[in-house]
Amino acid sequence: LYQYNSFITMFKLLRDNTRLICNRAHLGETVYAKRYRNYNGNYVFDIERRFHESENSLNKTLLVLLYTSDFSFITDDGLSLDVTKREEEQNDFIEAYSKSIIPNKIMIDVNNGSSGFISKDLVLGAVLNRMK
């Protein structure tokens, strides 16, 4: 119930044009519920659909998915549940991103092609460019 209510609150804030960044948010619920919590988190898409269809309130929302096309340079940060599952988890996030009906979406590859990440400025620039 707590998770459900938190996503209702998130979508209300988005409806009200509150400027916020939600790290993983409802996409994370679909990925982690299935993988680690033993329940189906796809209920968040019902909430998303309800807010979008009944109130047309997600047109100003930008859904950003950061991903990497190369996992070879990524090291264990000691905080992940299972570092061997990173690519599988990323694929789950890409699948969830694809299921989302938020109309404005962008995927950004954070791999710089030289065993590292692109700069934060490049990520910000891509997001700001999409918001124009």
What is the percent of the chain with per-residue pLDDT over 90, rounded to a whole number?
65
CA distance between the termini of the chain: 37
Per-residue model confidence as pLDDT tens digits over 88-129: 999 999 999 999 999 999 999 999 999 899 999 999 999 999
Distance CA 128, CA 60 (A): 13
Q: What angle do CA 9, 47, 68 make, to 5 degrees?
A: 90
Buried b / exposed e across 120-129, counting CB within 10 Å, b at 16+? eeeeeebeee
Q: Please give the model's pTM, rounded to 2 decimal places.
A: 0.89
- Backbone phi and psi for residue 28, each to the nearest 5 degrees, phi listed first: -60, -35
pLDDT at residue 71 is higher than 90: no
